[in-house]
Structure 1
Amino acid sequence: MKKVLKITLAIIVILVIVLVAFNYSRLNIISGYSAKNMNSSVFVAGRTAEFTDNTDNNFGPVNIADDVVDEKKKTASATVFGLMERTAVYRKGLGSVLIDDDYDITKETPIPHRSNIARMLPYPYGNMSQKDTVFSNVDYAKVKSAVNYAFETVDGEDVKKTRAVLVLYKDQIIAEQYAEGFNKDSRILGWSMTKSLVSTMYGVLQYQGKINIWDKAPVDSWKNDERAEITIHNLLQMNSGLEWEEDYSKISDVTKMLFLAKDMTKPQAEKPLVGKPNETWYYSSGTSNLLSGILRKQFNKHQEYLDFPYRDFIDKIGMHSMLIEADMVGNYVGSSYSWATPRDWAKFGLLYLHRGNWNGTQIFDDSWVDYVTKPTPTSNGRYGGHFWLNAGGFHPDVPKDMYSANGYQGQRVYIIPSKDLVVVRFGLAAGDAVDFNKFLSEISGAIK
């Protein structure tokens, strides 16, 4: 019996060694993801470490990491089998950031100035409860059925992992539901919906006459080579022709940027052309962070850059729960890291539904909506100016004028102008787990 036990233990040790050796170079990414996600969940969203371990970080291979949270220092550290320790720290106003050994957590950094003015108006334009309204042309039972579908279990298992659904028709919430542990005040990570926020920042600057998106992208290292022809427009349409690998399953351009880079605006700028601008659509988180860096160049001071999106857009429409996280050198991580409550995310959708007008105040020009919803060449009608489109009929049973801000694991803000609808969904699963065509077609079909 002892001999069998020794052989079994030896096999286990060998397997562990092989596993670590095979994945050693990935451990940096795994522990980095775990530490960053844990820190944001605890200090930005106000969840517990235990909850985060059991939900947000409970998937392979991230679930092999062990996390330690320091409430006093506001740090979260993660290791994998005791190796590759990575640490993330929370900075007030800037959220959580994954740091390297050179980062001084005691150094003060500038933070955005915020404005939170109480507006004595019903939601969505103020802080008061919305007016009770019943629409005779809305099939509420059908809407409820669609919402229930988003939360339903399969054989008792929560495969859809939906956390929040919000449906607004003519500015009124006609359906709202949350998973256990979440409510209307829960901050939720938008992931790549942040890209649509970046696009909006450009729309605001364009409206203010402070930038021209048709100009060549102001990247110094491109001035003397073929990349000099790339415009800001090309970047907004993800159609620059620049090389980029967007693969989260391995060490790739995107994982190295998010979990290793000090300055996330640089990785895409350093890539060569592999196609022609305006002829080569390819989804790239590096492009969104490059745009964040170009945005920063439009301001004389770092403080002005930090203040701009909140002062001229986010706080102006009452998205006061919104927080966009920054990298180690203070650039907004425009590809991935923004947090807000579902109701505030819905305000973002309403801003676009009303073509940039927020209760009488124009935030960006009416024509900006036409710009972001114009299909990017070679995207088959799926992508516009940092928004996803249904122009090509990807969702065949949903109106083709639908467009959306999309994020990892099925974070969505859908805008359907022909139905006067905004639909918000948050969760931890997408793909085959949630049939968004079914979900959206039922909701849009409920409006007669």
Structure 2
Amino acid sequence: MRPLFLLAATALCGAAQASPPALSPQSLARAAAYSATHRGDALLAVQGAREVWAQGQNGFALNAPHVLASGSKTFGCALAVALQDAGVLRLDERVADTLTEWSTDARRGITVRQLLNFTSGLPGNVGRPVPTLNLDLSAEARRAPLQAAPGTQFSYGNAHLAVFAELVRRKTGHEPEAELQRRVLDALDIHPVWARDRAGQADLAGGARLDARSWARFGELLLRGGRWQGRAVLSAAGLQACQQGSAALNIYGLTLWLNLPAAGTLDAGDTVPVAALGLKGERLMPSQPTNVVMAAGLGNQRLYLLPDHDAVVVRFGRGGEWSDDAFLQLLTAQP
């Protein structure tokens, strides 16, 4: 399968390329109605770099910042790619080469890639009984013992990104959200507000608040292979890694959900619908092509990348029942 970002780039060049099928006003209206009746807060769709639908729902103001919850995690891959592009890190380097306190124990083999695809072997979450910001996330995660050999088990949660954040601090001398802002988000005029833990550190796993148009711009950056308004912000080659799953779970890349026939084991703590847990050979969104990708957060926050339609869709919500497949069927249906 050709990577999402190369598919998107191919779709944008060459006069002989067929135009992607339009998201029709009728299909957009039906999808918006589904979102609204399932506790939606906002729906925004961009196709061919043009906004084709923008709606606040159920009293939520479209331009207001909204919690992304675990949708925040996808910024971690963008930051890793930016740092790899700059020669600051490599995805397959050992974390213990920088976090030297790990160099003499079982965690010494963990790689940056394993932190970002949640197969580091660390427990998914730090903070009990539920994830909390009333602690030093990074310190807690770095003290956590292995629960599985690195690379063998998918475990969803905040611990992996809390360690990644500390890795970025030590490599750059700056906070990870500041590096993300400087290296990626400033170019897109995106300015998330971050929830912080007791140590004052941004929660990369779930702490970003952003308005719908800003999150859509970030989605467009991913869809277009790291380019924004003619400028290469991130390398397309680096971004391809974000769409590569692991042996432990092939449908989770580096902080992105992939619409591939599932192989591996889903973790009960993930943010996709419960009906998707335990998938064996099925796809998260069976009606959609395998190149569809999404960022997903608790409360049914969604960022969908639809390469075959040259489209990015943002959906904000406040929980309740939700089916990604049912929504996208409505969205992409022909009138």
TM-score by length of structure 2 reads 0.82
- Counterparts of 2:21 and 2:312, CA distance in 1: 18
1:252-291 correspondence runs (5 A): 252=129, 254-255=130-131, 258-261=132-135, 263-291=136-164
**Among 295, 310, 315, the residue aligned to 1:405:** 295
The residue that corresponds to 1:340 in the other structure is 210
Go from structure 1 to structure 2 and tell me whether the alpha carbon gap of 1:297 and 1:330 turns closer, same or farther (over 3 Å shift).
Answer: farther
Q: CA deviation at 1:181?
A: 3.2
1:38-77 correspondence runs (5 A): none
- Counterparts of 2:248 and 2:118, CA distance in 1: 11
**Among 125, 141, 153, the residue aligned to 2:26:** 141
State which structure, 1 or 2, has the greater radius of gyration over its C-alpha atoms: 1
> 3-state SS of the aligned residue for 2:171?
coil
The residue that corresponds to 1:417 in the other structure is 307
Counterpart check, 1:445 vs 2:319 = no
**Among 17, 36, 53, the residue aligned to 1:151:** 36
Counterpart check, 1:295 vs 2:168 = yes
Q: CA deviation at 1:301?
A: 5.0
Go from structure 1 to structure 2 and tell me whether the alpha carbon gap of 1:375 and 1:137 turns closer, same or farther (over 3 Å shift).
Answer: same
Go from structure 1 to structure 2 and tell me whether the alpha carbon gap of 1:211 and 1:383 turns closer, same or farther (over 3 Å shift).
Answer: same
Q: Which amino acid aligns with 2:167?
A: I
Go from structure 1 to structure 2 and tell me whether the alpha carbon gap of 1:357 and 1:347 turns closer, same or farther (over 3 Å shift).
Answer: same
Q: CA deviation at 1:317?
A: 0.7
Counterpart check, 1:386 vs 2:255 = yes
- Counterparts of 2:259 and 2:44, CA distance in 1: 20
Q: Which amino acid aligns with 2:78?
A: T
Give me the identity figure in percent. 23
Q: CA deviation at 1:389?
A: 1.3
Q: CA deviation at 1:220?
A: 2.6
Contact 1:292 1:334 in 2 (8 A): yes
Q: Which amino acid aligns with 2:27?
A: K
What are the superposed Cα offsets for residues 69-112 of structure 1, whole Å, 9 maximum, x if unpaired? xxxxxxxxxxxxxxxxxxxxxxxxxxxxxxxxxxxxxxxxxxxx
Counterpart check, 1:361 vs 2:249 = no
Counterpart check, 1:314 vs 2:185 = yes
Go from structure 1 to structure 2 and tell me whether the alpha carbon gap of 1:344 and 1:301 turns closer, same or farther (over 3 Å shift).
Answer: closer
> 3-state SS of the aligned residue for 2:190?
coil
**Among 56, 62, 77, the residue aligned to 1:199:** 77
How many residue pairs match? The answer is 293
Contact 1:296 1:331 in 2 (8 A): no
Contact 2:36 2:58 in 1 (8 A): no
- Counterparts of 2:124 and 2:296, CA distance in 1: 19
> 3-state SS of the aligned residue for 1:406?
strand
- Counterparts of 1:360 and 1:330, CA distance in 2: 36
> 3-state SS of the aligned residue for 1:294?
helix
- Counterparts of 1:179 and 1:139, CA distance in 2: 20
- Counterparts of 1:402 and 1:427, CA distance in 2: 20
What are the superposed Cα offsets for residues 344-393 of structure 1, whole Å, 9 maximum, x if unpaired? 111111110101101111111101332011112221x3201011111221
Go from structure 1 to structure 2 and tell me whether the alpha carbon gap of 1:167 and 1:446 turns closer, same or farther (over 3 Å shift).
Answer: farther
- Counterparts of 1:137 and 1:293, CA distance in 2: 43
Q: Which amino acid aligns with 2:252?
A: Y
> 3-state SS of the aligned residue for 1:265?
helix
- Counterparts of 1:272 and 1:335, CA distance in 2: 19
Q: CA deviation at 1:178?
A: 1.1
Q: Which amino acid aligns with 1:190?
A: L
Go from structure 1 to structure 2 and tell me whether the alpha carbon gap of 1:138 and 1:404 turns closer, same or farther (over 3 Å shift).
Answer: closer
The residue that corresponds to 1:157 in the other structure is none
Please tell me the root mean square deviation across aligned C-alpha atoms, in Å.
2.1
What are the superposed Cα offsets for residues 172-211 of structure 1, whole Å, 9 maximum, x if unpaired? 1111211243223201011111111122111111111111
Q: Which amino acid aligns with 1:403?
A: V
What are the superposed Cα offsets for residues 408-444 of structure 1, whole Å, 9 maximum, x if unpaired? 11011111112211111101114xx122211112213
1:181-260 correspondence runs (5 A): 181-217=59-95, 218-245=98-125, 251-252=128-129, 254-255=130-131, 258-260=132-134
> 3-state SS of the aligned residue for 1:375?
coil
Contact 1:193 1:405 in 2 (8 A): yes
> 3-state SS of the aligned residue for 2:244?
coil
Show structure 2 runs of 5+ residues with no match. 1-19, 262-282
- Counterparts of 1:306 and 1:241, CA distance in 2: 24
The residue that corresponds to 2:245 in the other structure is 375
1:140-179 correspondence runs (5 A): 140-152=25-37, 160-179=38-57
What are the superposed Cα offsets for residues 140-192 of structure 1, whole Å, 9 maximum, x if unpaired? 2122111111112xxxxxxx211001111111111121124322320101111
Contact 1:164 1:425 in 2 (8 A): yes
Go from structure 1 to structure 2 and tell me whether the alpha carbon gap of 1:351 and 1:446 turns closer, same or farther (over 3 Å shift).
Answer: farther
Q: CA deviation at 1:324?
A: 2.4
Q: Which amino acid aligns with 1:389?
A: L
Show structure 1 runs of 5+ residues with no match. 1-134, 153-159
Report 1 or 2 for greater relative contact order, CA contacts < 8 Å, sequence distance ≥ 6: 2
Contact 1:143 1:446 in 2 (8 A): no
Go from structure 1 to structure 2 and tell me whether the alpha carbon gap of 1:389 and 1:136 turns closer, same or farther (over 3 Å shift).
Answer: closer
Go from structure 1 to structure 2 and tell me whether the alpha carbon gap of 1:297 and 1:446 turns closer, same or farther (over 3 Å shift).
Answer: farther
TM-score by length of structure 1 reads 0.62
